[in-house]
Structure 1
Amino acid sequence: MKIEWLHKSTKDKCIVFMNGWGCDANPFQSMQSNDYDVLMCYDYRDILLPKEIERLFENYQEVHLISWSLGVFVGNLVYNQWKELFTSTIAINGSLHPIDNLKGIPPAIFQGTIDGLNEKSIEKFWLRMCGGKDNFDLFKNRMPKRNIDEQKEELIILQEVIQNHFIEWNVYQTVILGNKDLIFPFENLMNSWGEHKNLIQKDGMPHFCFYEWDSWDDLMRESKGETSAN
């Protein structure tokens, strides 16, 4: 697993962002942050957290976890023993059972994505991930700069990890789901989270949902049920 600061200054609050498969910092360049430093984790070819990560949080008064897509599973897996570290924990458009006919991506579709992955098919995946042409046109300006071979390797490793780790715990206090998710069937997301006590459903929100907020601050406010400052 790799880590990279999306925003780093002298804030006293930090967001740990568990990115989705195949991504890097590039698609998130439009997301500003006024109140938080933001540390991104990505590239899950090695599922272990870097050893230096814990000391990075020593000087913060608050640390918040935001996980998206397959990062929801990874975050739940690796941070279960660190639950006390986080002031709040948020899952977005992901599942604790991400390869599952009822609660995640159907196994046949997941395997088909691996088998057919190439430079052309991943663009089709990004298009579906963005929910259509309008958001994809924005996304194309900040495409992930990842090699297709390492993206495929990452997906294969994630498949193996998911299939070999049955998760029976949940670190997430808040769940945000978009009903226009074309990667995780929305019905399956609701099967996974429908009884969660703090579930936020957003009409029209696609899988890649980060154009919904101008800043990480706005995302955090919405997760708390607060009105955006905009």
Structure 2
Amino acid sequence: MKHQWLARSEQSDLILVFGGWALGARPFSGLTEPGNVLLAEDYTCLDDPLPDLAQFDRVDLLAFSFGVVSAAHWLRRTGFKPSRMIAVSGTLHPASAEYGIAPDVIRATADQLSRASFAKFCRRAGLTGDPPALNVEAARSELHSVIARGPAADPGFDRIWIPDRDRIVPTAAQDAAWRSRSNVIKRTAGPHVPFKPGQNWAEWLV
């Protein structure tokens, strides 16, 4: 994995974000709140070290899109126990006709990836402005790795957010995937990238 700090402060709490595929920090650019926010991304390999998380008194995990299944795999590997775990716009089944993205769709996305197709993906996801910079080969490799790694066991997410207009991980697939966790589901109006400018991180950790 790669990582970057989105915010740094002297506070003792950390929000650890597992981002989505190829979007970088852009989905979270409008979220505000002083504190420490660390973004992990690029799930080609889950063995790359993150900064020492033991220095923080509290670590809340927010996993978005393919970050949901990738965070679940990472948590199982490392044994790390966040204080609170949040899933947004994702499931534990990356390639699944019933519980995620249809296998033929995700494989076609990888195999036919280009800057033009990525721009279309960003629009469908609800990302505004120009698409983030893209390394086509690296992004294709990451998708193949996510597919090959397969589904993950549920680490016990404390909150699951499902957007009502998700055209990437279809809303109906998320509903089906999380049916047994209905007590922790919250609906949110919006597309696959549901974060809105002016919101703060705390709104998504409730």
The two structures have a TM-score, normalised by structure 1, of 0.82
State the partner residue of 1:128: 124
Is residue 2:136 matched to residue 1:157? Answer: no
Pairing partner for 1:198 from 173, 180, 184: 184
Q: Please tell me whether the aligned partners of residues 32 and 198 of structure 2 are also in contact (alpha carbons under 8 angstroms).
A: no
State the partner residue of 2:55: 59
Distance 1:182 1:11, change over 3 A: same
Which digits, 9 at most, give the CA deviation of each residue in 1:140-194, with x for residues without a partner? 15x32332221112112211122xxx43333311100001000111111011112
Between Structure 1 and Structure 2, how many residues are aligned? 205
Is residue 2:162 matched to residue 1:177? Answer: yes
State the partner residue of 2:87: 91
Which digits, 9 at most, give the CA deviation of each residue in 1:116-159, with x for residues without a partner? 210111111111111xxxxx4xx215x32332221112112211
Q: Which amino acid is the alignment partner of residue 150 of structure 1?
A: A
Q: Distance in 2 between matches of 1:174 and 1:213?
A: 21
Q: Please tell me whether the aligned partners of residues 76 and 171 of structure 1 are also in contact (alpha carbons under 8 angstroms).
A: no
Identity %: 24
Q: Which has the higher helix share?
A: 1
* Higher mean C-alpha deviation, range 81-90 or range 173-182: 81-90
State the partner residue of 1:69: 65
Unaligned runs of 5+ in 1: 131-135, 225-230
Q: Distance in 1 between matches of 2:172 and 2:198?
A: 24
Q: Please tell me whether the aligned partners of residues 31 and 197 of structure 2 are also in contact (alpha carbons under 8 angstroms).
A: no
The two structures have a TM-score, normalised by structure 2, of 0.91
Unaligned runs of 5+ in 2: none
SS at match of 1:195: helix
Pairing partner for 2:153 from 162, 168, 176: 168
Q: Which amino acid is the alignment partner of residue 103 of structure 2?
A: P
Q: Distance in 2 between matches of 1:45 and 1:22?
A: 11
Q: Which amino acid is the alignment partner of residue 20 of structure 1?
A: G
Higher CA-based Rg? 1
Q: Which amino acid is the alignment partner of residue 79 of structure 1?
A: L
